[in-house]
Structure 1
Amino acid sequence: MTPVELSRTVLRAVRRAVDDGELKVTVPERVVVSEPGPGGCGDFATTIALQLARPAGQPARRVAEIVRARLADAHGIRDVVVTGPGFLNISLDAQVDPVVGLVREIRRKGARYGHGDALAGQVVALRVPYEVRAEVVADAVVRLVATQGGRATVEHGEPVNLRPVPAPEDPAPLGPDAARWALLRPAAHDRPRITADHLVQREGNPLFRVRYAHARVRALGRNAARLGFDAEPGPVDDARALLTPLADHPRILSAAATHRAPDRLARHLVTVADAVLPLLPCVLPVGEEKPSAAHRARLALAEAAGTVLAGGLSLLGIDAPEHL
């Protein structure tokens, strides 16, 4: 069971509780699951009970128990424990590996991983001023809205409904990719920095880290082919740091599209890059070591991250280089 599938399972449990009359709330569109926090247990945890407590008019622990009862017998779930004020801690069946399921899903969907229907059938009309940052943000929003089944149009003139803080100077000297990053990564209410820092090829440059991580993943795939082995999804030790942001990608895309906020996607790509980079040195065999199932599984996980990075950069209108 992948984190995305687990999220849907929790959502179904909430819907069943509403249908049974035990919870009187509006069923949310999605449920976020993540690694358990301090004092938690199991494979994943969710705060859905705390989110529903106030609208349900019940204590969070009571809401958690209601949801827990409907999760306990769900396929792929071994145990559910309520901790703290109402956290649901979920343990998966031993034979259900979340890394395998998630990697397979990303490999199957490719660049469309994370696309959904949150805006299906909707037309989002964007009215922007004649200003370079507004134009670039609107272009990214058009792409993001399309990932959620909607369509966005862009017009100029009043009344403006998309007006990010303008760039303090012309970003064109940075080149197309760094200029777009400089304009898109800050939140709309923040003034972008138009400096040469965006061009520096060092770890301190977030754009460099994202593009470098993608290029490294692609290089590992080429080197693995030369060594005679391919990626194959499988269990990976210490994968949780990368598993969480990869599983969160569909939620990030939906939020970025719904709130017209490409900065959310840009920052998420930095999180994915920072999580995959520590994995890369152990993907290929070292010295006389022979390729093993562990190497194939690590390569598959790294390539899944590369798919997310490439897809995200493309939505921002930024090139994802194969070599860097």
Structure 2
Amino acid sequence: MTPADLSRTVLHAVRRAVDEDALRAPVPARVRVERTRPGGSGDYACAVALQLAGPAALPALEVARILRERVAAEPGIERVEITGPGFLSFTLDATAEHHRALLDAVREQGLAYGHGDALRDEILQFHHAREVRAAVTAHAVRRLVISQGARVRISCEEAPDPDWARLGVTVDAHGTPPVPLTGIRPVPAGATAAELLRRLGPDAARWGLLRSAGHDRAALGPELLVQGEANSLFRVRYAHARIRALTRGAALLGFTAEPAPDAERAGHTEPAPFDSAARPLLDLIADHPGVLLAAARHRAPDRAARQLEAVAHAFFDFHDSCPPLPAGDEKPSAAHRARLALAEAAGTVLAGGLSLLGIRAPEHL
């Protein structure tokens, strides 16, 4: 179950409670769930009971009890607890079946995994200064909000720099509309599109412009071209290339990914497909739709970039702990097929996220 699935499950429980007259309150348009903070209970938490307590004229703890009854029995939910003044804390069912459902969803949706329609009713216009970072940021924000169903138009205060096109930037109009895209710190003097393209190329330039939050200084030094772990762009793209190499290696060994890690399906005892190193990667993949939606809502492509860094880091930890390819004379097993499916899901998230940022995801590095 992804955070988006959990949010819909809780919203459905609210509707049921209202329909059954257990709650008398307006049904919210959406329900927000968040990762539980360190030291907290469960995997996710939600404050919807506190939100509904006033309109329902009930204590928040009573609202939470009403909703817990309707959520606890849903598939994918292992446990629902009430904490504090009325927070709902959810522990998800982490069985192989739910891992398989998550990986199947990524495989089915492909590069569109994480896209949605939460912003489908929004018609947006972004306006930015005639400056390269503002232009690239507006273009990335446009991709993000479109991925969540919004319609958007971009304008620039003056005629756009022709070199922006080489960075993948398009502008619909120029002039002065009423709502500018604000809070973007310009690049240092002299760092024009042409200069950045000459020095860094389009992919490294876009990453450098987008990786930092808009109000922070953009890191645009030669480190963006270094092929090493300290370069976050290289690490993200290397993770994607490594995953593609795993798929090619598996084909040479005569097997493909199959998100079915349980020994019963395999028909005999198999080595464990995942250990605890897989959980961070599975969690990040499950969280990906929520991260993209938050990046779109907050006009913050840096959130998407940091998500890709986290996925790449978790993939390498998982790869080292649970190799997707057999070693030596070892035969490919159901465990290897399941591990490969998780690796490929991570690769899909990396490729899709880079695409939203306007950056290529090469298959070879």
- Report the TM-score when normalising by structure 2: 0.79
Q: CA deviation at 1:233?
A: 0.5
1:5 aligns with 2:46: no
- Indicate if the aligned counterparts of 2:31 and 2:48 stay in contact, CA closer than 8 A: no
For residue 216 of structure 1, what is the aligned residue in structure 2?
242
Alpha-carbon RMSD across the aligned residues, in angstroms, is 2.6
- Indicate if the aligned counterparts of 1:8 and 1:31 stay in contact, CA closer than 8 A: no
For residue 261 of structure 1, what is the aligned residue in structure 2?
300
How does 1:1-324 map onto structure 2 within 5 Å?
1-19=1-19, 20=21, 22=23, 24=25, 27=28, 29-32=30-33, 34=35, 37-38=38-39, 40=41, 44-49=43-48, 52=51, 61-83=61-83, 86-91=86-91, 97-157=97-157, 158=176, 159=178, 161-163=180-182, 164-168=184-188, 169-170=190-191, 171-172=196-197, 173-235=199-261, 236-238=274-276, 239-281=278-320, 282-324=323-365
Whole-angstrom CA distance in 2 between matches of 1:12 and 1:62: 18
Q: CA deviation at 1:61?
A: 4.1
Q: Which moved more, 1:120-129 or 1:56-65?
A: 56-65
Percentage of pairs with the same residue: 54
Whole-angstrom CA distance in 1 between matches of 2:101 and 2:223: 39
Q: Which moved more, 1:287-296 or 1:66-75?
A: 66-75
Helix, strand or coil at the partner of 2:260: coil
Whole-angstrom CA distance in 1 between matches of 2:360 and 2:38: 36
- Indicate if the aligned counterparts of 1:13 and 1:67 stay in contact, CA closer than 8 A: yes
Q: CA deviation at 1:37?
A: 4.8
| C-alpha distance 201-247 of structure 1, shift in aligned 2 (>3 A) | same
- Report the TM-score when normalising by structure 1: 0.89
Q: Deviations over 1:237-269 (max 9, x none)?
A: 322201221111111111222222211111111
Q: CA deviation at 1:160?
A: 5.8
- Indicate if the aligned counterparts of 1:45 and 1:87 stay in contact, CA closer than 8 A: no
| C-alpha distance 237-60 of structure 1, shift in aligned 2 (>3 A) | farther
- Indicate if the aligned counterparts of 1:148 and 1:257 stay in contact, CA closer than 8 A: yes
Q: CA deviation at 1:323?
A: 0.7
Structure 2: runs of 5 or more not aligned? 158-175, 262-273
Helix, strand or coil at the partner of 1:177: helix
Helix, strand or coil at the partner of 2:239: helix
Q: Between Structure 1 and Structure 2, how many residues are aligned?
A: 322
Residue 41 of structure 2 aligns with an amino acid whose one-letter code is G
| C-alpha distance 193-94 of structure 1, shift in aligned 2 (>3 A) | closer
Helix, strand or coil at the partner of 1:188: coil
Q: Which moved more, 1:89-98 or 1:241-250?
A: 89-98
